[in-house]
């Protein structure tokens, strides 16, 4: 996660909620966190939706940056 974020790759992070939640998340707006009380409560539909939104945003940004 941190190496991908450091190289500029968008990251989707799956986490169980934790009191120190924010200290594990890489800085930047390109990263998304999917969290729930327990990691097993995260559904594949939630992850798919977030991943699709990140890829769509990245694709749109690349189209308009040229």
Q: How many domains would you assign to the chain? A: 1
Give the closest residue to 11 by CA, choosing from 36, 29, 35.
29
Supply the pLDDT for residue 41: 96
Domain containing 44 equals 2-65
Express each pLDDT in 2-36 by its tens digit. Answer: 898 888 888 898 988 776 666 777 777 778 889 89
Asked whether the whole model's pTM tops 0.95, one would answer: no
Helix (H, G, I), strand (E, B) or coil at 12: strand
Of the candidates 40, 38, 9, 13, the one whose C-alpha atom is nearest the C-alpha of residue 25 is 13
Label residue 55 by pLDDT band (50, 70, 90): confident
């Amino acid at each position: 996660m941190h190496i991908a974020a450091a190289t500029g790759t968008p990251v989707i992070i799956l986490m169980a909620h934790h009191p120190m939640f924010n200290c594990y998340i890489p800085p930047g707006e390109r990263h998304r966190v999917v969290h729930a009380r327990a990691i097993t409560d995260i559904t594949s539909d939630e992850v798919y939706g977030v991943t699709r939104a990140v890829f769509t945003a990245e694709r749109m940004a690349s189209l308009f940056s040229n």
